Structure formats: structure tokens, C-alpha cells
Amino acid sequence: MSEKVRFPSVVGPELAGAIDLPDGEIRGWGIFVHGFTLGKGSPAASRVSKQLAREGIGMLRFDNLGIGDSDGDWGDGSFTVKVQDTIRAAAMMAERGTPADLLVGHSWGGAAVLAAAAEATGVRAVATIGAPVDPSHVERQYDAVVDRVLSEGSHEWFVGGRTLVLKRAFVEDVRRAHLRDRIGELDLPLLVLHSPTDNTVDIDNAGEIFREARHPRSFVSLEGADHLLTARGQAQRAAHIISAWADQYIHGSRPAGETSQVATT
């Protein structure tokens, strides 16, 4: 079962989310942050979140600005906006009485959770799947139009069967983003998941993230998985690994004044 939610982006428009509710005993709560132009319904976001919910970890997954069911213009977002909206999602989860113990990010969303974790309310552990160590890695996806974007201010970009408007401020924000310091300063347990056959984000990125991070840190190779986790059973496998790893960080009672149950009135 899932519950639909909406909450405002830091730039104003409302973002659409779905909370996959835990089966049986509630072990904890988390947030899944999707990749660059994907969405909450993408295979990685949907399948990983639903499997974690089946294992007792309720998961919020939400569409970023101008994606899926969310309002606004995708071109008005940026890496900074994605990070800040992740922090806002954690605040929303805390406000509803289900503070997120866990942040899970896929691809560019993995970079975003690494940047957001220190400021995200209640977060105890972070997991990345196929994440780049440098947010500007996404520029190779729109390199054919980036010169026109920078010279003209914006330009249409066809991706994933749809047309988006890429804006100069978006490109410049991505180029300014520096993640390595955030990783080195992350004072939370980190799990890095990556496929050695990932043809979109090379596994060398996982090695760099792992080296930059402090302990406790863990790495698991997702042999046979593609970047989008579309192969049968691969998303569920990633969820099993995250669930087992996160248990020591999310299991048990929270400090006084916190709750892991849905607030009631």
C-alpha cells in the first residue's frame, strides 16, 4: 500500500510523492531520491522502495520539480534545488511523525543524498546506488546543447521521450557543485552500491566515493545489474542488501521525544 503526499519545493511549486507503507512491524522510515530525469515511478525508485516497505521500512519517493506528477518547470531546478528539496522531504516526514532514518539515492539522486544528509532531519544512514562522485557527470547527457544553453540562456533538450528546457542557471549550478568535501565530512554510516558493468556511471565513481568517506562505510558490487536496475530482480536485490545493512542503524527505539510510528490525533 502507498499513501499519496504533496509538499512544497524550496522554489515554490508542489512536489508529488508516494509513501510505500511498511508491511508488518515498522522497522523504520526512509526517503528514496531518484535519478536525473527519472521520477518516483522509475524501476529503481519504485521497486527498491516497495521491497524495503515489504521488509518493514516505509519509503517516501517523490518526483522532483517538473517531473511526473510534480508541479513547476524542470528547468527551474538544479542540483542545489534537488538537495534542498531532499532536506525538505525529510522535514515533511518528521512533521508527519515518521522521521526518515535512511536516505537512499540512485544515480544523480545518490549525489544529492550525499550532499543533503548532514542537514536532513532524523537521518541515521545513507545508501547510494550507481552514484557519480561529481554532480557535473550529468553534463555528458546534454553536451550536444550545452553551448547553446550558455550562449542563449536556455534551449530545448529531448530526453527520455520528452522535451525539457535546459537553462543556463541549471548548467552553472551543476558546474559549481562540489561533493567531495560533503562526502569527507559525512558523519553517518554509508553504503555504496554499484554495478561493475554500469555503462552510464562508471564503477570508478564508487571507488572514489568510498575513499572520500569516513568509517563506517561499506561497498557492495551489484554484479550483473544495469544502471537503471531494470533487469529482473536487481532492484529487489539492492533493497535486500540495503535492508540488511541498515538494520543496525534504524532498528530499536529512537531517543526520547522521537517516534517511528505515524502520528495520530
Give domain status of residue 51, yes or no: yes
pLDDT band per the 50, 70, 90 thresholds, residue 253: very low
Domain that holds residue 73: 2-135+178-247
Give domain status of residue 166, yes or no: no
Q: How many domains does the chain have?
A: 1
Q: What is the pTM of this model?
A: 0.92
Give domain status of residue 164, yes or no: no
- The full DSSP string for the chain is -EEEEEEE-TTSSEEEEEEEPPSSS--EEEEEE--TT--TTSHHHHHHHHHHHHTTEEEEEEPPTTSTT--S-GGG--HHHHHHHHHHHHHHHHHTT---SEEEEETHHHHHHHHHGGGSTT--EEEEES--SSGGGGGGGSTTTHHHHHHHSEEEEEETTEEEEEEHHHHHHHHH---HHHHHH--S-EEEEE-TT-SSS-THHHHHHHHHSPSSEEEEE-TT--TT--STTHHHHHHHHHHHHHHHHHSSPPSTT--SS----
Q: What is the CATH number of the domain that holds 196?
A: 3.40.50.1820
pLDDT tens sequence across 106-117: 999 999 999 999
Q: Determine the pLDDT at residue 259.
A: 44
